[in-house]
């Protein structure tokens, strides 16, 4: 240990030099942008050109944009409240569905796939390599009126003329599940695969039934993976603004991401878009910090 | 990983004695229900993509009725084929440019960052590491909006279009090499490098001739991931692109799905995107296996999970 420290200390200049390009890139293009966001949010608007006037000094930040956004969320004629609520509902339902599908799949492949594990892994990883746009385009083809999905429905005697792409929440939610579930499966698989099988065998030997073993040994053991996997799936869903545009496009299915994008691109409202993005960031900091702490703990145990 | 795979594979198990089949049931019975769910999921995830690829070869303009095989949406049609339509054509080129340039910048600085942070253990390095992990979990839209405000309000010398797209894609993907290479650093330990130093290698020499070759599989796997995720990226490039010429394939597909250049030409574009990604994945898989040959028993599974970033 002592030797290692002197080696590291003697070469400190080298380590700093190696880390510097990445560190500068992170500071300039990851940390600084959020300060700009704050400055725009706390800044004003040029009345004549309707352009943003960022204020760089935190002491001079105004609350103008904040109160405007607050009014849009809770005031009369508030138009940000509904998409915000919808984001919460869509993300929650889509995450629960994803977990209900992903857990059995990951559990099966990690425990029972045996010699076919490689084949199953290829099939599970495949969607990860297919562009998100392609995967959505595929469903747009299938769900359009006169598309295969409606034909299949009428083949089974069900009404086959539903306009699935015309603003249905169910389409958007299933689209979100379809889009993000591969990440959840891979996270769960990677963890379940590492569970010590001897623990499960011990539980069985001590007389637990298959179900009891699953519920009182496997599930509690995999709790960190469930939490991490749900965050990894839910965080991008919260910031999603394109799945609903592609699969519905109707105002009745907009999410908070659409509100942010819309504000940013309309003249004079950029500051309010920045406020909205900041609010979302502050809310998401809680799950993000939790995720970062739990992965840091896991990697410390690994080291 | 190798030992778990073997201990669960059912063929290796002897048939259980009949007495174990009691109220608890046969523990080695094949779980048909779970297997059924798995196959249904796989069909649901892959069949739609297969149909979309199929319709890129449709003779007619429909995405729902098969009218015979043709490659007109790739090369034949003089107006809307990928080869002849300038915006479709540009999108392919722009995607490849972004993928290549981003990978060439992101991987070296990410690898340097991983090694440097792992050795230079101070509060500053811990803070930088924390920033890197946050860049991995933050929703892409928030980063894209912040980057848009940065390049339009502060660093205006980075113009919207290719420069801003590359700058944003590099920071968004930096965590791949940083996390993967760091994990490999932890698993190979310090003994090789210290032995090289004891035998008289200079500090740069020890890194270049001992550490980098040992890290090569991880570096390669992260390069594959950075390229694939850049090619697939939508949010950052959509916010930071400017004119049509700087729109890569993903943005073009998005903006044309409802109206515009719809029809099988979009499927053809998406299929090209798919082929690029799958080719990179295949090259990555083969090269990763070759680089780690003799390291572990379960080489294929290990290579598969590595190039998928798990």
B3-56: per-residue pLDDT in tens? Answer: 444 444 444 444 444 444 444 556 566 788 888 899 999 999 998 899 888 888
A11 near B119, Cβ under 8 Å? yes
- pLDDT confidence of residue B23: 46
Phi, psi of B79 (to 5 degrees): -105, -50
Give yes or no for A121 touching B (CB within 8 A).
yes
Which of these, A84, A33, A42, A34, lies nearest to A61 by C-alpha position?
A: A42
Residue B242 and residue B251: Cα distance in Å, rounded? 11
Among A168-177, A196-205, A248-257, B293-302, the minimum mean pLDDT is found in B293-302
The stretch A248-263 carries a mean pLDDT of 86
Phi, psi of B67 (to 5 degrees): -120, 25
Give me the total of CB pairs closer than 8 Å, taking one residue from chain A and one from chain B.
300
- pLDDT confidence of residue B28: 61
Residue B41 and residue A182: Cα distance in Å, rounded? 10
Among A92-96, A227-231, B83-87, B122-126, the minimum mean pLDDT is found in B83-87
Out of A136, A147, A241, the one facing B64 most closely (by C-beta) is A147
Find which of B119, B193, B212, B252 to mutate to test the A interface (most A CBs within 10 Å of its CB): B119
Give yes or no for A7 touching B (CB within 8 A).
yes
Describe chain A by its helix, strand, coil percentages, rounded to 5.
75, 0, 20
- pLDDT confidence of residue B19: 43
- Taking all residues of chain A, what is their mean pLDDT, rounded to a whole number? 84
Per-residue tokens: B262: 């719809």
Among B79-83, B133-137, B296-300, the minimum mean pLDDT is found in B296-300
- pLDDT confidence of residue B21: 43
pLDDT (tens digit per residue) in A172-230: 999 999 999 998 998 899 888 888 888 888 888 888 888 888 888 888 888 888 988 89
Residue B137 and residue B144: Cα distance in Å, rounded? 13
Taking each continuous run of H as one helix and of E as one strand, the counts in chain B are 14, 0
Q: Which 267-286 residues of chain A touch chain B by CB within 8 A?
A: 270, 273-274, 277, 280-281, 284
B176 pLDDT higher than 60: yes
Does A130 sit within 8 Å of B145, measured CB to CB?
no
Express as a percent the part of chain B with pLDDT over 90.
23
Cα separations in angstroms, B103 against A279, B170, B270, B280: 32, 8, 21, 12
Under 8 Å CB-to-CB from B52, ≥6 apart: which residues? A134, A137, A138, A141, B63, B267, B270, B271
Contact residues, chain A, for B249 at CB < 8 Å: 131, 133
What is chain A's Cα-based Rg? Answer: 24
| Three-class SS of B2-59 | HHHHHHHCHHHCCCCCHHHCCCCCCCCCCCHHHHHHHHHHHHHHHHHHHHHHHHCCEC
pLDDT (tens digit per residue) in A44-84: 777 676 777 787 877 778 877 787 788 777 776 677 888 88
Residue A53 and residue A51: Cα distance in Å, rounded? 7
A276 near A80, Cβ under 8 Å? yes
H helix or E strand, kind and range, residue B254: helix B249-256
What angle separates helix A169-192 from helix A117-129, to the nearest 10 degrees? 140
Express as a percent the part of chain A with pLDDT over 90.
23
Which pLDDT band holds residue A150 (cuts at 50, 70, 90)? confident
Which of these, B284, B181, B170, lies nearest to B237 by C-alpha position?
A: B170
Classify A46 as helix, strand or coil: strand
Give yes or no for A290 touching B (CB within 8 A).
no
Contact residues, chain A, for B112 at CB < 8 Å: 18-22
Question: Is the torsion defined by CA of A123, A124, A127, A129 positive or negative?
Answer: negative
B141 pLDDT higher than 80: yes
- Count Cβ atoms below 10 Å from residue B155 Cβ, excluding itself: 17
The stretch A117-133 carries a mean pLDDT of 86
Which pLDDT band holds residue B310 (cuts at 50, 70, 90)? low
* Residue A97 burial (10 A CB sphere; 0-12, 13-18, 19+): middle
Which pLDDT band holds residue A5 (cuts at 50, 70, 90)? low
Which pLDDT band holds residue B158 (cuts at 50, 70, 90)? confident
Residue B246 and residue B269: Cα distance in Å, rounded? 16
pLDDT (tens digit per residue) in B258-282: 766 667 888 888 898 889 888 888 8
- pLDDT confidence of residue B3: 42
Residue with tokens 């199929």: B54
- pLDDT confidence of residue B143: 94
B235 pLDDT higher than 70: yes
Among A1-15, A164-178, A236-250, the minimum mean pLDDT is found in A1-15
Q: Could you tell me which residue, A7 or B116, shows the higher pLDDT?
A: B116
B251 pLDDT higher than 80: yes
Give yes or no for A85 touching B (CB within 8 A).
no
- pLDDT confidence of residue A193: 85
Q: Could you tell me which residue, B121 or A28, shows the higher pLDDT?
A: A28
Contact residues, chain A, for B273 at CB < 8 Å: 131, 133-134
- pLDDT confidence of residue B172: 95
Per-residue tokens: A98: 């994803």
Classify A114 as helix, strand or coil: helix
CA of A94, closest CA in chain B: separation in Å? 15
Express as a percent the part of chain A with pLDDT over 70.
93
């Amino acid at each position: 240990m002592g030797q290692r420290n002197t080696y590291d200390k003697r070469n400190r200049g080298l380590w700093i030099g190696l880390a510097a390009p990445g560190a500068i890139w992170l500071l300039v293009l990851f940390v600084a942008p959020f300060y700009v966001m704050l400055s725009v949010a706390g800044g004003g608007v040029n009345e004549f050109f309707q352009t943003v006037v960022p204020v760089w000094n935190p002491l001079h930040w105004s609350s103008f944009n904040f109160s405007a956004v607050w009014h849009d969320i809770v005031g009369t004629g508030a138009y940000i409240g509904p998409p915000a609520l919808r984001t919460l509902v869509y993300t929650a339902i889509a995450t629960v569905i994803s977990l209900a599908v992903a857990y059995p799949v990951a559990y099966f492949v990690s425990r029972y796939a045996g010699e076919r594990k490689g084949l199953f892994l290829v099939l599970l990883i495949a969607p990860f390599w297919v562009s998100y746009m392609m995967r959505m385009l595929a469903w747009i083809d299938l769900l359009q009126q006169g598309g295969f999905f409606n034909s299949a429905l009428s083949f089974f005697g069900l009404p086959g003329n539903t306009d699935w792409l015309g603003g249905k929440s169910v389409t958007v939610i299933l689209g979100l599940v379809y889009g993000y579930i591969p990440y959840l499966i891979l996270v769960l698989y990677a963890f379940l695969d590492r569970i010590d099988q001897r623990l499960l065998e011990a539980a069985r030997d001590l007389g637990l039934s298959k179900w009891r073993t699953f519920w009182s040994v496997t599930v509690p053991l995999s709790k960190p993976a469930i939490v991490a996997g749900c965050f990894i799936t839910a965080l991008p869903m919260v910031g999603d603004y394109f799945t609903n545009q592609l699969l519905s496009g109707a105002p009745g299915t907009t999410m908070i991401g659409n509100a942010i994008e819309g504000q940013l691109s309309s003249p004079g409202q950029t500051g309010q878009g920045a406020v909205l993005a900041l609010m979302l960031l502050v809310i998401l900091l809680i799950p993000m910090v939790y995720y970062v702490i739990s992965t840091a703990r896991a990697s410390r145990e690994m080291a | 990983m190798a030992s778990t795979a073997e201990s669960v594979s059912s063929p290796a198990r002897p048939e259980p004695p009949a007495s174990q089949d009691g109220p608890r049931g046969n523990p080695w019975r094949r779980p048909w229900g779970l297997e059924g769910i798995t196959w249904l999921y796989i069909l649901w995830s892959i069949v739609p993509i297969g149909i979309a690829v199929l319709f890129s070869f449709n003779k007619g303009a429909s995405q729902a009725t098969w009218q015979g095989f043709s490659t007109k949406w790739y090369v034949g049609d003089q107006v809307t084929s990928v080869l002849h339509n300038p915006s479709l054509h540009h999108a392919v080129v722009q995607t490849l440019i972004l993928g290549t340039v981003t990978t060439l910048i992101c991987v070296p600085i990410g690898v340097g960052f991983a090694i440097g942070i792992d050795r230079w253990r101070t509060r500053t390095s811990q803070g930088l590491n924390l920033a890197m992990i946050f860049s991995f979990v933050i929703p892409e839209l928030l980063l894209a909006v912040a980057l848009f405000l940065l390049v339009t309000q502060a660093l205006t010398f980075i113009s919207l279009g290719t420069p801003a797209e590359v700058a944003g894609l590099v920071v968004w993907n930096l965590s791949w090499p940083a996390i993967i290479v760091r994990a490999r650093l932890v698993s190979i330990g310090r003994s090789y490098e210290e032995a090289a130093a004891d035998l008289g290698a200079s500090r740069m020499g020890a890194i270049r001739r001992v550490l980098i070759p040992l890290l090569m599989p991880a570096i390669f796997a992260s390069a594959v991931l950075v390229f694939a995720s850049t090619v697939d990226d939508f949010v950052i490039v959509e916010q930071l692109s400017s004119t049509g010429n700087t729109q890569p394939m993903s943005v073009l597909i998005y903006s044309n799905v409802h109206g515009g250049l719809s029809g099988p030409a979009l499927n053809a574009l998406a299929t090209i995107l798919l082929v690029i990604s799958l080719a990179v994945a295949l090259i990555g898989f083969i090269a990763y296996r070759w680089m780690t040959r003799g390291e572990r028993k379960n080489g294929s599974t290990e290579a598969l999970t590595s190039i998928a970033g798990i």
